[in-house]
Amino acid sequence: MRERAAVAFALLLAALGRAQAESAPAALAPARAAELVHLLRHDCGSCHGLFLKGGLGPPLSPSALAGKDPQALVLTVLEGRAGTPMPPWKGLLDEAEARFLVDLLLAGRVP
């Protein structure tokens, strides 16, 4: 019985986590969201390609990112990757903003 309760609780947590992930982009003010999309195309795009299909940096298309842990990708954006040209963005982006960009990339919904 106790095990069943633990499983139910774990499922609830997973569902809550998913709901939170889905609502993350909507939490940003529209003006800031537009700024971030501009940053994604122009700053990120300077390495990853204007259409994010790759250049100096790898492609950031949904198929290229499929199966990667979203939180690990958020960390890559915030911290960069030491020893590679991927710079840290945490001075310019907070975690919710990095998450917003990663969610757009994973969904293939970069406007």
Instruction: Report if residue 54 touches ligand HEC, rule: CB under 6 A.
Output: no
Q: Which stretch binds ligand HEC (CB under 6 A): 1-9, 10-18, 23-31, 39-47?
A: 39-47
DSSP result, 64-106: HHTTS-HHHHHHHHHH--TTSS----TTT--HHHHHHHHHHHH
Question: Which one, 11 or 35, has the nearer CB to ligand HEC?
Answer: 35
**Structure-token pair, residue 93:** 């982006």
Instruction: Report if residue 104 touches ligand HEC, rule: CB under 6 A.
Output: no
Question: Which one, 22 or 43, has the nearer CB to ligand HEC?
Answer: 43
Instruction: Report if residue 70 touches ligand HEC, rule: CB under 6 A.
Output: no
Question: Which one, 26 or 37, has the nearer CB to ligand HEC?
Answer: 37
Which residue has tokens 């970069």? 110
Q: Are 98 and 74 in contact (CB under 8 A)?
A: yes
φ, ψ of residue 24 to 5 degrees: the values are -55, -50
Q: What contacts 73, CB < 8 A, 6 or more positions away?
A: 65, 102, 105, 106
| Residue among 76, 88, 103, 110 that touches ligand HEC (CB under 6 A) | 76
Interacting residues toward ligand HEC by CB under 6 A: 39-40, 43-44, 46-48, 56-58, 60, 64-65, 68, 73, 76-77, 81, 84-87, 89, 101
